[in-house]
């Protein structure tokens, strides 16, 4: 009698399962119902809490003037020197606030701070959704030591599904070739199990959230 090993028994069961059709009927899959427990907190508070828990720096601004005031404070406090920005609307805000910046590609390699917009913010995970369609492109969000994201309260989404729908509605048939999320600064403990923050990108990520949603009764 042939001695059958445990491994052969397992493989035999797998082969049988693959060749035998299941008699169990699978009903319609519900793809629309929410699987996460919601929160009564406003999206901006949920995002702030979750993003901060990931070591992100969150700053809420009631308007553009408050954004400029807060930006100048953090610029001075962190000794930011070379600020690089390609987004026309952000450049206009920085000019109105008399904040020096560069958009010269030849100075990109010496960039200390990269300032960008985002596609949207995901409140449930505290994540920033960006894409290759943005003027800042693929490089700026990951190259500089400090990544500064400027977003508006109208860009707050609850979860990734809502964020992806927001992007599909925005770009219709011309979907970006790259869509990704940033959830705080990158971290690694590969070297001698010592945690290093910013190993694969910016060492700090800031989100300046500007309120652009009018109050309603």
How far apart CA 57 and CA 215 sit, in angstroms, is 26
Report yes or no on 9 lying in a domain.
no
Give the predicted TM-score (pTM) of the model.
0.79
Domain count, the chain: 1
Locate tokens 């048939």: which residue? Answer: 173
Q: What is the pLDDT of residue 70?
A: 96
**Does 7 reside within a domain?**
no
Residue 217 binned pLDDT confidence (cut-offs 50, 70, 90)? very low
On whether residue 109 sits in a domain, the answer given is yes
Higher pLDDT, 33 or 172: 172
- Highest-scoring range by mean pLDDT, 10-14, 105-109, 166-170: 166-170
**Quick one: which H or E segment has residue 48?**
helix 43-53
Nearest Cα neighbor of 161 from 39, 51, 32, 41 is 32
Q: Residue 146 pLDDT > 60, yes or no? A: yes
The size of the chain, in residues, is 217
Q: Which of 16-25, 134-143, 161-170, 208-217 has the highest mean pLDDT?
A: 161-170
Q: How far is CA 210 from CA 65, 107, 213, in A?
A: 10, 28, 9
Is 10 within the bounds of a domain? no
- CATH of residue 92's domain is 3.40.50.10420
Q: What gap in Å lies between CA 68 and CA 61, rounded to an integer?
A: 9
d(CA 122, CA 183): 10
55 lies in some domain: yes
Cα 214 off chain centre by: 25
14-51 b/e (C-beta count within 10 Å ≥ 16 → b): eeeeeeeeeeeeeeeeeeeeeeeeeeeeebbebbbebb
Q: Does a structural domain hold residue 174?
A: yes
- Give a yes or no: residue 8 inside a domain: no
Query: For residues 83 and 5, which has the higher predicted lDDT (pLDDT)?
Result: 83
List, for residues 12-46, the tens digit of each pLDDT value: 888 887 777 766 666 666 666 666 677 789 999 99
* Structural domain containing residue 178: 40-187+196-210
């Amino acid at each position: 009698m042939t001695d059958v090993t445990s491994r052969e028994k397992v493989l035999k069961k797998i082969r049988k399962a693959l060749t035998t059709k299941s008699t169990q009927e699978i009903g319609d899959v519900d793809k629309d119902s929410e699987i996460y427990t919601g929160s009564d907190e406003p999206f901006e508070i949920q995002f702030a809490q979750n993003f901060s828990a990931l070591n992100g720096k969150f700053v809420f601004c009631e308007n553009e003037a408050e954004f400029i005031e807060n930006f100048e404070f953090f610029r001075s406090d962190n000794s930011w020197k070379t600020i690089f920005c390609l987004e026309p609307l952000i450049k206009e805000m920085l000019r109105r606030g008399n904040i020096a910046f560069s958009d010269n590609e030849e100075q990109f390699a010496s960039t200390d701070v990269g300032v960008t917009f985002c596609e949207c913010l995901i409140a449930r995970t505290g994540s920033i959704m960006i894409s290759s369609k943005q003027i800042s492109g693929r490089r700026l969000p990951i190259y500089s030591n400090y990544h500064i994201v400027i977003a508006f309260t109208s860009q707050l989404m609850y979860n990734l599904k809502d964020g992806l729908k927001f992007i599909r509605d925005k770009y219709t048939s011309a979907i970006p070739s790259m869509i990704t999320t940033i959830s705080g600064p990158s971290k690694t403990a590969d070297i001698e199990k010592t945690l290093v923050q910013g190993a694969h990108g910016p060492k700090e990520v800031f989100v300046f959230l500007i309120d652009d949603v009018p109050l309603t009764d």
